[in-house]
Amino acid sequence: MKKLLSKRITVSAVAVVAVIAFFSFKSGDDKNFQIAKNLNVFSAIVKELDMFYVDTLDPNKMVREGIDNMLYSLDPYTEYFPEEDQSELEQMIKGSFGGIGSYITYDTKLKRSVISEPFENTPAAKVGLKAGDILVEIDGKDLLGKNNAEVSQMLRGQAGTSFKLKVDRPNLKGTYTPLEFTIVRESIQNPSIPYASVLENHVGYINLSTFSGNPSKDFKKTFLDLKKKGATSLVIDLRNNGGGLLDEAVEIANYFLPRGKVIVTTKGKIKQASNSYKTLREPLDLDIPVAVLVNSATASASEILSGSLQDLDRAVVVGNRTFGKGLVQVPRSLPYGGTMKVTTSKYYIPSGRCVQAIDYKNRNEDGSVGAIPDSLTKIFHTAAGREVRDGGGVMPDIAVKQEKLPNILFYLVRDNLVFDYATQYCLKHPTIASPEKFELTASDYTDFKATVKKADFKYDQQSEKILKTLKEAAEFEGYMKDASDEFKALEKKLNHNLERDLDYFSKDIKRMITNEIVKRYYFQRGSLIQQLKDDNDLEAAIQILNNPAKYKEMLSVPAVAKK
């Protein structure tokens, strides 16, 4: 009896201690309690569903969707990468991956992936793969019906491993020639500077495509080389540069700014996430005039470089408003080989502004996020006193109107008509002129138009869609009876006319075809040379660099003082 009573007292004491611990934990740290509670609930739900749900569940898929939806509710950049997706994360950080070095696209008619652009000096280019090659088999596995993500995963692998690739190559007979290649994967490092040159009037030009890897080293070498070749001013092209490593942006800014300048400050919840990044070395050139080209795809580290040079009045920014990514992510290791790229801080450039444009904290009713309206942005000032704003990316000092591409071009690209024409063109022309000199002839464009007509090409015209909507509104509101004749006359004028549209929009269509052809022979470098031949942003940058007085005035006089 004493033993039983002793046991009961002991159990009761343990229970009391547990209850005291439970309530002290809850009252002492309610947030930790809520986390533990919800994790237990989540775990219980998964187990109950696995045991009792009417259909068989895939636990990996179910939990992954739960994780992705949880992270989606935070901000657009916090992501989970399981062990099998580590190569994707590594590519983001280092700018490299093990593979063949080629873009692929999916042909919906063939239900197969197609080589769209092999990179220069990579395994794809070395073995002779060409744009237009249809991917048939990898190591005997048929690729029919596999999407681009699946095929890309099969093409990638550890550097030094090999595989056999079967392709069907289009020929001049309108059929396909089967080919087989043995390809050894390499570490693919996308070039951080695909093109650099000295342009007219001694203007140096550097196209910087990424801040992943170690681009500052390449930039320094390229810049000094351009100066040796006679460059007396510089254009840094950051258009379509999605960013990369913050440290690399600071290092490149240091080339043009004095030692000890604060370039960017990060502020987060924990001490380790809050830092100040200064220029640590002596600059390469404090005096050379600099213009930076930006557009809506200029993001993250690109905005740190362009924004800091603007805030410190060291460069004129030209183009269109940048993307507006003012958040910093760091990788955090997780169990079972996973990694989470988590947003730990916001960054602030020298004027004190944060360029974050997406208001992810205030979501719409459908869960989507919108941009911070201009009316809610705040005014900051550059070192010279010029007004700049936060909350919407980096606004250029010289805004260049962006040309809108015609609707027909979207459909020509979507239906692979431009791509397929370029493939046939290359079969007929073993060589072409250099990118600087190559032009599509009138005869070539006539051939393209014939190809389009033969393909029974159909496309939607925006004017027809708008007119249809207007007619429906007029009928609903009772205006159609009186406006019937006017609508008929307008419909007649807006009649679908393929020949007319191919001629009317020939400039834009020719430009797209020319670019597609040139990169087949001269890769990305040739494509950039071709695009720069008719580039309004670059022209505006060259104009300001060639006008020292205007350049100096733009960087030194506050906008409020200009009359």
For residue 470, list its beta bridge partners.
none
Output the pLDDT for position 373. 80
Answer yes or no: is pLDDT of 10 > 60.
no
User: Residues 462-477: pLDDT tens digits?
Assistant: 666 776 787 777 777 7
Query: What average pLDDT does range 167-187 have in this prediction?
Result: 96
What percent of the chain lies above the pLDDT cut of 90? 73
Active-site residue, from 300, 306, 308, 351: 300
The question of whether 534 is a catalytic residue gets the answer no
Per-residue confidence band for 563, with pLDDT thresholds at 50, 70 and 90: very low
pLDDT score of 97: 83
- Among residues 75, 311, 390, 397, which one is catalytic? 311
Q: Which of 27-41, 289-303, 356-370, 499-513 has the lowest mean pLDDT?
A: 356-370
Q: How far apart are CA 464 and CA 549, in angstroms?
A: 50
Q: What is the CATH number of domain 96-189?
A: 2.30.42.10
- Number of Cβ atoms within 10 Å of the Cβ of 334: 13
Q: Which stretches within 229-329 are classed as H helix?
A: 246-254, 301-311
| Ramachandran angles phi, psi of 161, nearest 5° | -80, 155
Span 326-354, average pLDDT: 94
Please report the pLDDT score of residue 64 as a whole number. Answer: 92
Question: Burial letters for 404-428: b for 16+ Cβ neighbours within 10 Å, e otherwise?
Answer: eebbbbeebeebbbbbbbbbbbbee
What is the arithmetic mean of pLDDT over 36-53? 92
Given a cut of 50, whether residue 121 has pLDDT beyond it is yes
Residue range 133-163, pLDDT digits in tens: 999 999 999 999 999 999 998 999 989 999 9
Q: Annotated catalytic, 325?
A: yes
Q: How far is it, in rounded angstroms, from Cα 299 to Cα 536?
A: 21
C-alpha distances out from residue 235 to 133, 267, 328, 536, Å = 37, 31, 27, 13
Task: Choose, from 308, 325, 519, 527, the residue flagged as catalytic.
Answer: 325
List, for residues 199-210, the tens digit of each pLDDT value.
999 999 999 999
Could you state, in order of their start, the residue ranges of all structural domains in the chain? 32-73, 96-189, 195-328+346-402, 407-541
Q: How far apart are CA 170 and CA 134, in angstroms?
A: 8
- Averaged pLDDT for residues 344-372: 85
Question: Is the pLDDT score of 331 beyond 70?
Answer: yes
**Tokens of residue 485, six digits:** 């004749």
Q: What pLDDT, on the 0 to 100 scale, is given for residue 1?
A: 42
Residue 494 pLDDT greater than 90, yes or no: no
Give the pLDDT band of residue 495 (cuts 50, 70, 90).
Answer: low
Residue % of the chain over a pLDDT of 70: 91
Q: How far is CA 137 from CA 26, 154, 171, 177, in A?
A: 59, 10, 19, 14
pLDDT tens track for 222-274: 999 999 999 999 999 999 999 999 999 999 999 999 999 999 999 999 999 99
Predicted local confidence at residue 7, as pLDDT: 41
For 270, list phi and psi in degrees, rounded to 5: -105, 160
Q: Compute and round to an integer the Cα radius of gyration of the chain.
A: 29
Secondary structure of 180-205 in HEC code, one letter for each residue: EEEEECEEEECCCCCEEEECHHHEEE
Helix (H) or strand (E) holding 126: helix 123-127
pLDDT for position 15 = 41
Residue environment code for 265-286, b if the CB has 16+ CB neighbours within 10 A, otherwise e: bbebeeeebeeebebeeebeee
Grouping H, G, I as helix, E, B as strand and the rest as coil, residue 229 is coil
**What architecture is the 195-328+346-402 domain classified under in CATH?**
Alpha-Beta Complex (3.90)
Q: How confident is the model at residue 8 (pLDDT cuts 50, 70, 90)?
A: very low
Token digits for 257? 């700014």
* pLDDT score of 4 more than 60: no
pLDDT at 164: 98
Instruction: Give the pLDDT confidence of 161-170 residue by residue, as tens digits.
Output: 999 999 999 9
For the cut 60, the answer to whether the pLDDT of residue 19 exceeds it is no
pLDDT digits (tens, 9 = 90+) for 51-69: 999 999 998 899 999 999 9
Residue 296 has pLDDT above 60, yes or no: yes
Say yes or no to pLDDT of 437 above 70. Answer: yes
**46 half-sphere exposure, CB direction, 13 A CA radius:** 16
Q: How confident is the model at residue 9 (pLDDT cuts 50, 70, 90)?
A: very low
pLDDT (mean) for 81-93: 81
What mean pLDDT comes out for the span 104-114? Answer: 94
To the nearest 10°, the Cα dihedral for 553, 555, 560, 563? 20
